[in-house]
């Protein structure tokens, strides 16, 4: 027999050949050429001819099955990938869909997927637990499915109105698709071609069939009636060998013939009758399976396990039944649980549950508060150890458990004054149950609270600051501060001096950056006008933050033996003074502490705190109208160009390239949480405006001086950028406003300068951020008027022989004594060559023409000055500093004040870390 006719299945070939072996040879083969080698699998595989519709729909069905599996395991990324492939496959099948209509199973997956994504989107807790890729894929897929389903709105609506009917129609359609060729191509004798090609296998016995896994409905639908009868009877085909041979030839011929559609009424009726019989048999199989399940349940020996449902595990028993619960037994069990702590493969969540269960057992058996306190200490420590990685932060549920557990522990300690806890208590000397003596438990409540504060900082660092989640986490700070206050009260009674200093520093770190609005309002409201009840209410609200900071810091100054705690307390105290506009107290404390001398030797977090304090000091000086002090305080931070990094508010991209991954992680852990940030745009604006008020009059006074030095290099850089603009339009950014105001001041036009500095845009960006914005704006207008007057006199003094002070007073809208004072200072400091004529209230200018010898001396001085400047530039380029540009000026604009020495959190040139 030729290979062409050997197309039966394994079972058929075994029954027909009766053990004889067939050896097939290649027909007409040229043995000189390379023969076509077929593997055994390829030889045994049946060649099936399918229509384009079946191929396309099978491809869609496989993709839909993959999507449903991904939905079961909440793998949204996989759903997104398969949905994109499904859209492409549907596009390929478009021609078939146009003829046949949109398949029901396709509409069903679109509707189910959209509902599934909406459920995930509304599940806020579930979204928080998602990883980054799944969360991103969820947002993308949700948008795509909503946009894609607009083309199928009518189909989806009809499906949702009657999903059961749609499912039944779909099942019938699948039956028709899977059995179309066999039903329509039946011979006159009623024998189909596909019947002879179908594999037949021995059916298992009735008893074993009970415990087989359920087959999918799609596989059941694809079985034909002959297979159903064979399965039930458990017998094989009853045809003879000769009939099989004839059937094979008939089957082969029919496989390559075009399907015949039922044309007559009799054929249609036969096909419809067959479908009804098939549906009836399917219903009988389902009811039979349900009866088997009921019998299994009645027997009680077997339990059917459905996939995807997690088994409920019983909680492990802590003690054997009948065991007497004593202190020794509980402590022994506690030690057994703690021995697994830190080991590989230990379930940390289960360990926490065991400890909590142990607390309940100890409480139920009245084993005393000492045992409960010891177990509580270990529960809190286990909660901290839940995340082994330092960079990861606690989950919200773990964080909530930690706060509750610490509060419960403090309740016990306050309710039982006879319990003493401490790190210095050895485990051998612990007293957990002897009530005759004070109970002694090993553990440090202060260490737990310090770790709690670190975890809170990590939570705030790793939360998006512009989300509602950050606000929710920030609300927990009230609980953190309340716990710190409770521990403070406890340690003031029973703690050592060192512990009291540490808890005081924690309290200070949660207080120093907060503006006390209640105290500010009490200062603004006169005490005479307030009633007695209001005064009592103000007293009951608690002490002002200034009084609290003063008390805590003074205790640390007197009692602390470590430099770090004292340094942090001083810096926080200065910051708090500066924040509340107590400039002179803040300045004096900074000068007396001499922190600027050795701050470069401190650790990076303290250096960041120093930089934040200096910045706040400069902003405070600006609010007071002390532009020189403000400029000097902000100079080091702003001149470096790395203010964001030095203040611990972020990492610069260029500096990230210089660090490896480990150093970057360390840097990110040092970042300050967002609610402690200082507005960098406000900081730069304050610095540039201060530089403008100093630099513009100085430039006008030394316009022809070759030895002129820059007071602010950054300000000059902004001026040069503004001059290089090819098209000069209205200013938009904060820097452009300052540059435009500087040009106006240079011409003595104070009104234009005022309009550029103070307007709606600048108010919204900068000035409204100050606590007393109106006072700051009034101060700025006054400063602009005075410095514009000085600039006008420097610029146009050569034009005038004399000028009336009344004219100057009207021009700059200043009172006459102020104008007199400004001009007198300029004459005394030899900045203006003039004299005052008191009777006429005029300023008489003095003209002095230089002699020839003086001209030569000026030229020589100019050349020497340029030579020195070039040398300084070369030196500064090698050293990487700006020392040559910031030396003391002859007119005293830059004085070498002690608190402005270069120091702080600056990256050295030879190091990549701090």
Three-state SS for 558-585 is: HHCCCHHHHHHHHHHHHHHHHHCCCHHH
pLDDT at residue 504 in the model: 93
pLDDT at residue 385 in the model: 84
Q: Give the model's confidence band at 727: pLDDT under 50 very low, under 70 low, under 90 confident, else very high.
A: confident
Q: Give the model's confidence band at 294: pLDDT under 50 very low, under 70 low, under 90 confident, else very high.
A: low
Tell me the average pLDDT across 834-852: 80
Q: Give the model's confidence band at 333: pLDDT under 50 very low, under 70 low, under 90 confident, else very high.
A: confident
What architecture (CATH level 2) is domain 679-845?
Orthogonal Bundle (1.10)
Q: What b/e string do you get for 218-254 counting C-beta neighbours within 10 Å, with b at 16 or more?
A: eebbebbebbbebbeeeeebeeeeeebeebbebbeeb
How far apart, in Å, are the Cα atoms of 802 and each of 328, 557, 796, 834? 102, 59, 11, 9
Give the pair of three-digit tokens for residue 486. 């409770």
pLDDT at residue 6 in the model: 45
Residues in the chain: 914
Q: Is the pLDDT of residue 151 over 90?
A: no
Neighbours of 891 (CB within 10 A): 13
Q: In whole numbers, what is the pLDDT of the chain averaged over residues?
A: 76
Domain range summary for the chain, segments of one domain joined by +: 52-161, 324-495, 679-845
Least confident residue range of 159-163, 196-200, 315-319: 196-200
SS3 assignment, position 539: helix
Least confident residue range of 478-482, 591-595, 665-669: 665-669
Q: Are the C-beta atoms of 894 and 886 separated by less than 8 Å?
A: yes
Q: Give the model's confidence band at 526: pLDDT under 50 very low, under 70 low, under 90 confident, else very high.
A: low
pLDDT at residue 509 in the model: 93
pLDDT at residue 566 in the model: 92
Torsion of CA 492, 493, 499, 501, to 10 degrees: 20
Tell me the average pLDDT across 624-630: 91
Least confident residue range of 49-58, 264-273, 294-303: 294-303
User: What CA–CA distance (Å, rounded) separates 631 from 900?
Assistant: 10
Q: What is the CA radius of gyration of the chain?
A: 44
Q: Is the pLDDT of residue 94 over 90?
A: no
Q: Are the C-beta atoms of 644 and 680 separated by less than 8 Å?
A: yes
pLDDT at residue 853 in the model: 84
pLDDT at residue 229 in the model: 39
Of residues 31 and 721, the one with the higher pLDDT is 721
Between vectors from CA 760 to CA 758 and to CA 765, what angle results, nearest 5°?
85
Q: Give the model's confidence band at 85: pLDDT under 50 very low, under 70 low, under 90 confident, else very high.
A: very high
Handedness of CA 861, 867, 873, 878 (dihedral sign): negative
Which residue in the block uniquely carries the two structure tokens 């330092």? 390
Q: Are the C-beta atoms of 136 and 195 separated by less than 8 Å?
A: no
Which residue in the block uniquely carries the two structure tokens 């820097």? 735
Residue 419: strand pairing partners? 439
Q: Is the pLDDT of residue 897 over 80?
A: no
Q: Are the C-beta atoms of 748 and 795 separated by less than 8 Å?
A: yes
User: What CA–CA distance (Å, rounded) separates 772 from 620?
Assistant: 12
- Helix then strand then coil, in percent of the chain rounded to 5, is 65, 0, 35
User: What CA–CA distance (Å, rounded) separates 36 from 33?
Assistant: 9
Query: What percentage of the chain reaches a pLDDT higher than 70?
Result: 72
Please, which residues have CB within 8 angstroms of residue 771's CB and are 6 or more apart in sequence?
A: 515, 520, 581
User: What CA–CA distance (Å, rounded) separates 165 from 162?
Assistant: 6
Between vectors from CA 894 to CA 888 and to CA 897, what angle results, nearest 5°?
95
Neighbours of 331 (CB within 10 A): 20
Most confident of 310-314, 763-767, 779-783: 779-783
pLDDT at residue 656 in the model: 58
How far apart, in Å, are the Cα atoms of 2 and each of 5, 6, 10, 22? 6, 7, 17, 10
Closest to 134 measured CA to CA, from 68, 78, 65: 78
User: What CA–CA distance (Å, rounded) separates 427 from 475?
Assistant: 38
User: What CA–CA distance (Å, rounded) separates 335 from 324?
Assistant: 18
Between vectors from CA 484 to CA 479 and to CA 489, what angle results, nearest 5°?
125
pLDDT at residue 234 in the model: 41
Extended beta strands in 283-366, E state:
none
Of residues 581 and 212, the one with the higher pLDDT is 581
pLDDT at residue 311 in the model: 41
Tell me the average pLDDT across 222-239: 41
Task: Tell me the per-residue pLDDT of 187-221, one tens digit each, with 9 for 90 and over.
Answer: 434 433 344 334 333 444 444 443 343 444 444 44
């Amino acid at each position: 027999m030729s290979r062409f006719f050997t197309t039966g299945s394994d079972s058929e070939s075994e029954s027909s050949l009766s053990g004889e072996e067939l050896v097939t040879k290649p027909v007409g083969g040229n043995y000189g050429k390379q023969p076509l080698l077929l593997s055994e699998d390829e030889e045994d595989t049946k060649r099936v001819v399918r229509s384009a519709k079946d191929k396309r729909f099978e491809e869609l069905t496989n993709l839909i099955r993959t999507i449903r599996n991904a939905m079961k395991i909440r793998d949204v990324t996989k759903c997104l990938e398969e949905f994109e492939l499904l859209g492409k496959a549907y596009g390929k099948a478009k021609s078939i869909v146009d003829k046949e209509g949109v398949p029901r199973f396709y509409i069903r997956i679109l509707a189910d997927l959209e509902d599934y994504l909406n459920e995930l989107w509304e599940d806020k807790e579930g979204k928080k637990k998602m990883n980054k890729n799944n969360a991103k894929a969820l947002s993308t897929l949700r948008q795509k499915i909503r946009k894609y389903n607009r083309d199928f709105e009518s189909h989806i609506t009809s499906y949702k109105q009657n999903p059961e009917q749609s499912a039944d129609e779909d099942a019938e359609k699948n039956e028709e698709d899977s059995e179309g060729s066999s039903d329509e191509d039946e011979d006159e004798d009623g024998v189909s071609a596909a019947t002879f090609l179908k594999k037949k296998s021995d059916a298992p016995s009735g008893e074993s069939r009970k415990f087989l896994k359920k087959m999918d409905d799609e596989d059941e639908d694809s079985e034909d009636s002959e297979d159903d009868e064979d399965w039930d009877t458990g017998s094989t085909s009853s045809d003879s060998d000769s009939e099989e041979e004839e059937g094979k030839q008939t089957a082969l011929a029919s496989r390559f013939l075009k399907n015949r559609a039922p044309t007559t009424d009799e054929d249609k009726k036969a096909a419809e009758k067959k479908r009804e019989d098939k549906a009836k048999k399917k219903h009988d199989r389902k009811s039979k399976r349900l009866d088997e399940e009921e019998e299994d349940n009645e027997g009680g020996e077997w339990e059917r396990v459905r996939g995807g449902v997690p088994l409920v595990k019983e909680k492990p028993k802590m003690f054997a039944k009948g065991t007497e619960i004593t202190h020794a037994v509980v402590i022994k069990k506690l030690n057994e649980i703690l021995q697994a702590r830190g080991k590989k493969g230990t379930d940390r969540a289960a360990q926490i549950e065991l400890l909590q269960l142990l607390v309940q057992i100890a409480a139920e058996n009245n084993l005393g508060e000492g045992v409960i306190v010891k177990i509580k200490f270990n529960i809190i420590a286990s909660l901290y150890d839940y995340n082994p990685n330092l960079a990861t932060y606690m989950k919200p549920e773990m964080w909530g458990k930690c706060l509750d557990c610490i509060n419960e522990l403090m309740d016990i300690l306050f309710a039982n004054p006879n319990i003493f806890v401490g790190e210095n208590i050895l485990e051998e000397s612990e007293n957990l149950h002897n009530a005759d003596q004070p109970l002694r438990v090993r553990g440090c409540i202060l260490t737990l609270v310090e770790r709690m504060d670190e975890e809170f900082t990590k939570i705030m660092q790793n939360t998006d600051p512009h989300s509602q989640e950050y606000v929710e986490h920030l609300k927990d700070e009230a609980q953190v501060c309340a716990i710190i206050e409770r521990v403070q009260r406890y340690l003031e009674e029973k703690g050592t001096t060192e512990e009291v200093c540490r808890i005081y520093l924690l309290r200070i770190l949660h207080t120093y950056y907060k503006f006390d609005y209640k105290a500010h309002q009490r200062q603004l409201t006169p005490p005479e006008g307030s009633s007695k009840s209001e005064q009592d209410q103000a007293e009951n609200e608690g002490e002002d933050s200034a009084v609290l900071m003063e008390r805590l810091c003074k205790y640390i100054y007197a009692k602390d033996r470590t430099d770090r705690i004292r340094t942090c307390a001083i810096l926080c105290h200065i910051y708090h003074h500066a924040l509340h506009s107590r400039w002179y107290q803040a300045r004096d404390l900074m000068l007396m502490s001499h922190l600027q001398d050795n701050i470069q030797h401190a650790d990076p977090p303290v250096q960041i705190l120093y930089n934040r304090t200096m910045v706040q000091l400069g902003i405070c000086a600006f609010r007071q109208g002390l532009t020189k002090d403000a400029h000097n305080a902000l100079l080091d931070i702003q001149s470096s160009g790395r203010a964001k990094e030095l203040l611990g508010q972020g990492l610069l991209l260029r500096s990230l390239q210089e660090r490896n991954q480990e150093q970057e992680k360390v840097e990110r852990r040092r970042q300050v949480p967002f609610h402690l940030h200082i507005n960098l745009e406000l900081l730069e604006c304050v610095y540039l405006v201060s530089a403008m008020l100093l630099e513009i009059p100085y430039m006008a006074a030394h316009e022809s001086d070759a030895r002129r030095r820059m007071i602010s290099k950054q300000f000059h850089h902004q001026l040069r950028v503004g001059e290089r603009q090819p098209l000069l339009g209205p200013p938009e950014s904060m820097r452009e406003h300052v540059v435009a105001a500087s040009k106006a001041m240079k011409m003595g036009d104070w009104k234009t300068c005022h309009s550029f500095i103070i307007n709606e845009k600048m108010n919204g960006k900068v000035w409204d951020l100050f606590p007393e914005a109106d006072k700051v704006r009034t101060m700025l207008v006054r400063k602009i008027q005075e410095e514009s007057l000085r600039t006008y006199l420097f610029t146009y003094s050569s034009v005038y022989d004399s000028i009336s002070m009344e004219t100057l007073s009207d021009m700059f809208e200043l009172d006459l004594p102020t104008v007199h004072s400004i001009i007198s200072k300029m004459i005394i400091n030899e900045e203006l060559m003039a004299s005052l004529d008191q009777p006429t209230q005029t300023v008489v200018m003095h003209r002095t023409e230089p002699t020839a010898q003086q001209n030569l001396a000026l030229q020589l001085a100019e050349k020497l000055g340029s030579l020195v400047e070039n040398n300084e530039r070369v030196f500064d380029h090698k050293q990487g500093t700006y020392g040559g540009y910031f030396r003391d000026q002859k007119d005293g604009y830059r004085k070498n004040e002690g608190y402005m020495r270069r120091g702080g959190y600056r990256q050295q040139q030879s190091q990549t870390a701090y």
